[in-house]
Amino acid sequence: MTADDLIALVRTYNPKTNARMLADAFVFGEDMHDGQFRHSGEPYFTHPVAVAGILAEQQMDDATLITALLHDTIEDTKASYADVEKRFSREIAELVDGVTKLTNLQLSSSETKQAENFRKLFMATSRDLRVTLVKLADRLHNMRTIKSMRPEKQAQKARETMDIYAPLAGRMGMQWMREELEDLAFRVLNPEGRNSIIRRFITLQRETGDVVEKITVDMEHEMDKAGIACDIYGRAKKPYSIWRKMQEKQQGFSRLSDIYGFRIITQTEAECYAALGAIHQRWFAVPGRFKDYISQPKSNGYRSLHTTVSGRDGKRVEVQIRTVEMHEVAEAGVAAHWSYRDGIRTENRFAVDPARWIAQLTERLDEDHDHDEFLDMVKLEMYQDQVFCFTPKGDVIKLPRGATPIDFAYAIHTRIGHACVGAKVDGLRVPLWTRLKNGQSIEVITAEGQTPQATWIDIAVTGRAKTAIRRALREEDRERFIRLGRELVRVSFENVGKKATDKALRTAGKALGLGNIDDLLERVGSAEITSRDVVSAIYPDLVKSVGAEIEARRAVIGLDADQTHRRAQCCQPIPGERIVGITYRGQGVVVHAIDCDVLADLEDQTERWIDLHWQEGTHSASNTITLDMTITNDAGVLGRICTLIGENDANISDLQFIDRKPDYYRLLIEVDLRDVEHMHIVMTALEADSNVATIERHRDPDRAGQVQRRS
């Protein structure tokens, strides 16, 4: 495509285009990319021109087309932001710079990095949606020409396209682009699967003839009978769309229905419903497959009637019915906001600016949110279809498919969600995990004093609900940790004859690099720092002189008055390590180290978990751990090892030989210690002995059923 070809294409929908500036951008881009080539061997500038062509087909404005021509200049050539701004405008320089920043995001990296890149992508998108439109067109052309890349690069780009760019195009309302991107990625990721579907299509056409043409003629006949002027288009669905249906329904191709789709484009909304009636009079409607997106539009402005009927020869076909205006929005999506016709920016009353959706999304994301939480929210916002439910007053609430009454409650208001204790669906009381369906009326039952439960995170589907629940749980934990921390520091200060005044705590917090008293107390309550550390920050000499020994039965904080505890023998936790309690019926609480392998098997039994902490102070040397040692087989070595342990105030409670060889022994020694610091002292002393070949702490998951009773 030459500059004249591009300008001629633009003039078909925008006769008032700034042809001089388009030509200047063409020349500037071609000059900047001179000497650069694509993997295929073509001059590199053919790519920006193709991207501009894709956007011109969407009838985009001049600024977007010029951005497409220049979108790689700042990144890959000697041109700078200032050069583009001076030659064209600040608007175009900002757009080109925005595309460059999106290009530099490594969107196929690890989950945590991917989450941060999603955040940046949406932040950039919310400033000017045209940046994303150029980037989507850029990715579409790259996928169309992907065969010239190395196989591993093709796979990476295809996965990135399937995971990010295709859903984003769909969320922007550009369904045609989503389908093409998915199918191009499918061709790379699963060529055999795609080819098998195409082969079956060819076989089907050979057996039945051109079904699309036959059904189109039938529909035109019915519309003529009903006196409805319309255009009808039919097509077989894309291979990836069929593949996805086969996977979702776990059906083979021969059993799959509705692989053909038809669109009826009318002039008025009334004609849409009249056409629906004519279709249903002629063919049997498939129950449960009718959707009215005209009275209940999708959040991206999409409007259409959807129905599935049993057509010619019993074959199911999907029919979409909409007006010309609705069809423009369905095809162009967000691009409808920037499209021109006859030199004037078109205004479509059905177009909804997705910038509002993105702005709302980014506003809800505080910078300190968990990366995985953010990624979950974005994927939920992008990937889910919708259901429409009603409040008792008749207001419509849009939710993702699979949403629950909890999602409904939070969609009304966060306060309603927090106070939710139950729900009625169409007048009947249902569990909170019930999946809602289209058209249901939901009544949320609330109660004063109710707070979100941790199990709600697994029940909720929407990002809004999950975020609100997590925030509430964090705040609740924070308040609990602050109360616990205040009690711990009070006791520690009293142990050295001092009071934990606000001034003392502020001074300690400043010394420990914490902003305020509540932050300090929260860290103490959550065991990130000890109350002994707080006292030591102000009175280091007093802390060294105080050391009343804590009895084993009082070693753990967080138990109810009637609960007893035992140390788990699989991980043998000792003071100084982070711990958690697991309840056992009739056996009290078993204390595990937070990194114990056994806990993985109990992840789905969170109601048995108890948040525990070690008591601050000097513990008695009654906490047994097992050391795995290899020592040389020489006279007196074992005796010297036992002496070293005793000299470091530890006691050997058991000793077992695992392996005896002529030159070495391997043995397990159970040693009674005070805490982690005491363990390090003992192990360091043993490791320093020349006759100790190896020493490490021994943990045995098979001993999970054994417990050491408290002293």
> Mapped to the 3 state alphabet, what secondary structure does 640-673 carry?
HHHHHHHHCCCEEEEEEEEEECCCEEEEEEEEEE
Amino acid 264: pLDDT: 94
Q: What is the mean pLDDT of residues 127-133?
A: 79
And the tokens for 145? 């020409």
Looking at per-residue confidence, does 572 or 525 come out higher?
572
CATH number for the 3-189 domain, one of 1.10.760.10, 1.10.3210.10, 3.40.640.10, 3.40.50.300?
1.10.3210.10
Burial state string for 274-301 with b = 16 or more CB within 10 A and e = fewer than 16: bbbebbeebbebbeeeebbbbeebbebb
Tell me the per-residue pLDDT of 15-25, one tens digit each, with 9 for 90 and over: 888 999 999 99
Q: Are 558 and 610 in contact (CB under 8 A)?
A: yes
Q: What is the pLDDT of residue 106?
A: 57
CATH number of 207-345: 3.30.460.10
Look up 477 and say whether it is catalytic: no
pLDDT at residue 407, as a whole number: 93
What pLDDT sits at residue 604? 80
Supply the pLDDT for residue 322: 94
The helix (run of H) or strand (run of E) holding residue 216 is helix 211-226
Lowest-pLDDT range of 295-299, 344-348, 448-452: 344-348
Closest CA to 404 of 428, 366, 431: 431
Choice among 75, 85, 269, 443 that is catalytic? 75
The pLDDT score that the predictor gives to residue 709 is 39
Per residue in 73-98, pLDDT tens? 887 888 888 888 899 988 898 888 88
- The pLDDT of residue 49 is 94
pLDDT at 350 over 50: yes
pLDDT tens-place string over residues 654-703: 888 888 877 788 899 999 888 888 888 888 788 877 788 889 999 888 77
Beta bridge partners of 667: 629, 657
Rg, C-alpha atoms of the chain: 34
Residue in the structure block whose two tokens are 């951005």: 67
- What CA–CA distance (Å, rounded) separates 484 from 507? 20
Confidence class of residue 628 from pLDDT cuts 50, 70 and 90? very high
Sorting pLDDT into bands at 50, 70 and 90, what band is 265?
very high
Over residues 355-362, mean pLDDT:
59
Mean pLDDT on 279-285: 89
In the predicted model, is pLDDT for residue 351 greater than 70?
A: no
What's the pLDDT score for residue 227? 93
Q: Is the pLDDT of residue 370 over 60?
A: no
* pLDDT tens, position by position, 289-339: 788 888 888 766 788 999 988 866 667 788 999 998 888 888 777 666 666
Options 30, 76, 163, 269, the catalytic residue: 76
Q: Is the confidence at residue 209, as pLDDT, over 70?
A: no
pLDDT at 75: 79
Give which of 564, 611, 600 is closest to 708, Cα–Cα.
564
Amino acid 671: pLDDT? 92
Task: Say yes or no to pLDDT of 48 above 60.
Answer: yes
Q: What is the largest CA-CA distance in the chain?
A: 108
Query: What is the percent of the chain where pLDDT is above 90?
Result: 19
DSSP letter (8 states) at residue 596? -
Q: How many residues does the chain have?
A: 711
pLDDT at 708: 43
Q: Would you state the pLDDT for residue 711?
A: 33
pLDDT in tens, 576-610: 888 999 988 766 889 999 888 888 888 888 788 88
- Mean per-residue pLDDT for 187-203? 83
The per-residue pLDDT for range 151-189, each reduced to its tens digit, is: 888 988 898 888 778 887 887 778 888 889 999 999 998
The confidence score (pLDDT) of residue 367 equals: 45
Tell whether the model's pLDDT for residue 230 goes beyond 70: yes
Average pLDDT over residues 450-473: 85
Residue 627 has pLDDT above 90, yes or no: yes
Lowest-pLDDT choice from 340-349, 391-400, 471-480: 340-349
pLDDT in tens, 403-413: 899 999 999 99
pLDDT value of position 113: 53
Count of H-run helices and E-run strands, the chain: 29, 25
Q: What pTM did the predictor assign?
A: 0.54
The residues, ordered by sequence, that sit 6+ positions from 434 with a Cβ below 8 Å of its Cβ are: 404, 405, 423, 425
Looking at the DSSP assignment, which residues form a beta bridge with residue 292? 305
Q: What is the mean pLDDT of residues 282-294?
A: 84
User: Between 236 and 376, where is the model more confident?
Assistant: 236
Lowest mean pLDDT segment, chosen from 25-34, 168-177, 265-274: 168-177
Helices (DSSP H) in 460-611: which residue ranges? 463-495, 502-511, 517-525, 531-538, 540-545
Report whether pLDDT(387) > 80: no
The percentage of residues in the chain with a pLDDT greater than 70, rounded to a whole number, is: 83
75 is catalytic: yes
Give the pLDDT band (50/70/90) at residue 467. confident
Taking the C-alpha atoms of residue 651 and residue 641, their distance in angstroms, rounded to an integer, is: 12
Q: Quote the CATH superfamily of domain 620-709.
A: ACT domain (3.30.70.260)
Q: Which of 358, 372, 384 is nearest to 467 (CA)?
A: 372
Res. 546 pLDDT band, cuts 50 70 90: very low
Segment (H or E) for 698: strand 692-698
Task: Return the pLDDT at 386.
Answer: 67
From the number of C-beta atoms within 10 Å of its C-beta (0-12, 13-18, 19+), residue 157 rates as buried
DSSP per-residue codes, 230-279: -EEEEEEPPHHHHHHHHHHHT--GGG----EEEEEEESSHHHHHHHHHHH
Mean pLDDT, all residues of the chain: 81
Q: Which residue has the tokens 């914490």?
A: 514
- Residue 438 banded pLDDT, cuts 50, 70, 90: confident
Alpha-carbon distance values, 535 to 62, 261, 626 (Å) = 67, 73, 33
Residue 221: predicted pLDDT: 92
Q: What spatial distance separates the first Cα and last Cα of the chain, rounded to whole Å?
A: 85
Q: Is 114 helix (H, G, I), strand (E, B) or coil?
A: helix
What does the domain layout of the chain look like in residue ranges? 3-189, 207-345, 620-709
